[in-house]
Amino acid sequence: MSVIDEMLAANSRYAEELARSGQQLLPAARVAVVTCMDARIEAATAFGFQVGMAHIIRNAGGRVSEALRSLAISQELLGTRAVAIIHHTDCGMLTFTDDQLRRRLRENLGANADHVAFLPFTDIEQSVLDDLDAYRESKMVRQDIPVRGFIFDVQTGRLNEVLPATARQPVRSR
């Protein structure tokens, strides 16, 4: 049985067991999470969200620049009023550069991806800070709501908050 057929079989069992009445389009906890596609992040369990509570946006790295369209829809049309940005340890985005991936795509698929920014990074904490900044620099999303950044440790399963430099290093008067 192929992997997608196994997925369908699991879904049949799920649907038979499910009593789904009462779930609404609007997320009950009014929160949106931006995180990585990584297979070790089981968003619902790891972050404590039951069905219907939160928007979960996921892409390679959990990059905010690619999540702004979704966040604008989430906030403006579906009423979310908090954002958690969650990158993680041992991320695949730490393992390559744009040039390396472009070369592989050219060699293996004949694709010209020279125009594509794959958004890798070399430091997880910095990538969270960069994405908090990317959020703050966008006019399409609300600046009057809580927006916090975290690193998910795939070994321990624990979330550790990344505080912006302004919160960590208060400017002293001279």
Residues 9-68, interacting with its own copies (CB under 8 A): 9-15, 18, 20, 23, 25-33, 37-49, 51-60, 66-67
By CB under 8 A, is residue 167 in contact with its own copies? no
By CB under 8 A, is residue 69 in contact with its own copies? yes
- Which member of 125, 142, 163, 164 binds its own copies (CB under 8 A)? 142
By CB under 8 A, is residue 99 in contact with its own copies? no
By CB under 8 A, is residue 136 in contact with its own copies? no
d(CA 70, CA 79): 12
By CB under 8 A, is residue 171 in contact with its own copies? no
Identity of the residue, 3 or 165, whose beta carbon is nearer to its own copies in the bound complex: 3
Q: Would you say how long the chain is, in residues?
A: 174
Identity of the residue, 129 or 171, whose beta carbon is nearer to its own copies in the bound complex: 129
Residues 6+ away with beta carbon under 8 Å from 32: 54, 55, 56, 57, 70, 71, 74, 75, 80, 82, 83, 84
- Which member of 121, 125, 134, 159 binds its own copies (CB under 8 A)? 159
Residue 68: in which H helix or E strand, if any? helix 68-76
By CB under 8 A, is residue 97 in contact with its own copies? no
Identity of the residue, 8 or 123, whose beta carbon is nearer to its own copies in the bound complex: 8
- Sign, Cα dihedral of 10, 16, 19, 24: positive
By CB under 8 A, is residue 163 in contact with its own copies? no
Q: Tell me whether residue 75 is exposed, middle or buried, using C-beta atoms within 10 angstroms of its C-beta: 0 to 12, 13 to 18, 19 or more.
A: buried
First to last CA, the chain: 69
